[in-house]
Amino acid sequence: MTKEQEAISSAPSETVATPAESAVTPSCTCTSSDTEIPDEAQTPTLLEARSTPRVGHHPVDRLSIHKAATINYNQPVFKELAANLAIQRREILWKAQTLLSREKQKTLGVRRRRGVLDGRAVAVAKQLHKDKLLNDREFNELFPDWHWASSGESLYVLVECNQEAAQLLYDAGLDDVDDVDELGYSPLSLLEIPNKATSAHGRYQTESPPDALATYLSMCEWFKAKGASLNRVSGLTHATPLHHIAGRIGRYLGGSMEERCKSFGSRGPATISRRFANDCADIIKPLSSSILRDIWKDMEHHDLYACPCALGGCLAFNVLINETIKRHRSPTVVSLMAVVLVKKLIDASVPAETRAQQDVRAPIVLRACTFACLGLAHSCRSSSLHRFRRMSGEERRRASDATMDGLVAEFEAKYLELKLPLWDFFTEWWLGRMYELLG
């Protein structure tokens, strides 16, 4: 039996009073006055004075929660754990709203807040402990790893792509799935595609890479359906969760393609392209998610990286296409991957895209493919050498490369003149021009 299972099995099954009920509990004489904060001797403790399961007597740290949601996942056990965690955090909120001054409540963001605290619970508990409203034993039992910077992250970060575990947290009352950490990152913006190292056991499993990507996309959709923002800007570079997701999908597609290219050996790019065209159905198969539509349609949220691969910063679509093609320089391979990807995105569009709407994205694809074939180094998030460059807030100018800018301008003009579908333009014009240029 694991530590957390012991903790849960020994916890009484009685239910906790709601904060509203607790406010009139005779054992608590506290008020929400700004000045009348009771001293420690008069203050009922969470673990001793109130009718709650004694979860605090069995410290459960974040690593244990993470394991319980992933490699040791067991649905009934995690359900109990989620219920107890929700009780802990509801109690912390109740105590803060009852005992801390209004000013402190406002600073901590708990004033008039309802429900359950998630990532913010540890900061609130630290304040309660500092004000001697939580004693040392209570504080360390409730948050045994309070000294780690990650203790302020949402519990949803710990469940990774285990959607069932996330739903159990949600059903237990932890219904803010978009709780951000101190740097502004939400659980969705930290979500990774699962791998066998963390999901090989229990019921939370992924059998193959496409299965892992499908699990990831499904989890992204779950967060979105529960109210998580895809476009919340965070950090110095104004990255959004959608940029992050696009990067993970692109990395998966590019990695899958790289594996296939290796297996094709020394065959020429034309052979590789034909083989890829035959195999791409497998690679692209999991991409039937509405998240793809969101990436394709967002023309608004540019990040602040300065890189010649994108005009005025990268959209999530820039990130997706860059990450997919950045390992390749063959015009045949690069254009085929881009065309297949774009076709998939257009097919996923509802309602169907008009030619005019597609033409807005065509320059992005032409620029990304030209950049990849010229072998230029990224200075955006697709950089592999950490040579990031951030645009200054006022200038908002992009980094430029004269050769590429001239070429892209030529391609854009020709694309508008010929009025061919993008994939026909690549094969009938772009490919010939790129090979001519590259010798």
Which parts of this chain interact with Zn ion (CB under 5 A)? 307, 309, 378, 380, 382
- Spatial contact of 193 and 213, defined as CB atoms under 8 Å apart: yes
The CA–CA distances, whole Å, from 377 to 310, 373, 374, 381 equal: 13, 11, 9, 11
CB of 168 to Zn ion, least distance (A): 40
CB of 383 to Zn ion, least distance (A): 7
Which amino acid, one-letter code, is at 238?
Answer: H
CB of 87 or CB of 309, closer to Zn ion: 309
Whole-angstrom distance, CA of residue 242 vs CA of residue 396 = 21
Whole-angstrom distance, CA of residue 176 vs CA of residue 115 = 9
- Spatial contact of 80 and 53, defined as CB atoms under 8 Å apart: no
Whole-angstrom distance, CA of residue 190 vs CA of residue 198 = 15
Alpha-carbon torsion (339, 342, 348, 349), positive or negative: negative
Nearest to 67 by CA among 81, 51, 85, 54: 81
- Spatial contact of 194 and 160, defined as CB atoms under 8 Å apart: yes
CB of 193 to Zn ion, least distance (A): 22
- SS3 at position 226: coil
CB of 376 to Zn ion, least distance (A): 8
- Spatial contact of 129 and 40, defined as CB atoms under 8 Å apart: no
CB of 152 to Zn ion, least distance (A): 31
CB of 297 to Zn ion, least distance (A): 21
- SS3 at position 21: helix
CB of 305 to Zn ion, least distance (A): 7
CB of 318 to Zn ion, least distance (A): 7
Whole-angstrom distance, CA of residue 181 vs CA of residue 390 = 23
CB of 179 or CB of 323, closer to Zn ion: 323
CB of 307 to Zn ion, least distance (A): 3
- Spatial contact of 246 and 320, defined as CB atoms under 8 Å apart: yes
The CA–CA distances, whole Å, from 94 to 21, 25, 81, 140 equal: 10, 12, 20, 19
CB of 309 or CB of 366, closer to Zn ion: 309
Whole-angstrom distance, CA of residue 339 vs CA of residue 135 = 62
CB of 380 to Zn ion, least distance (A): 3
Nearest to 326 by CA among 263, 277, 257, 388: 257
CB of 139 or CB of 371, closer to Zn ion: 371
- SS3 at position 255: helix
Residue 239, φ and ψ in degrees, nearest 5: -75, 150
- Please give the structure tokens belonging to residue 386: 């950490």
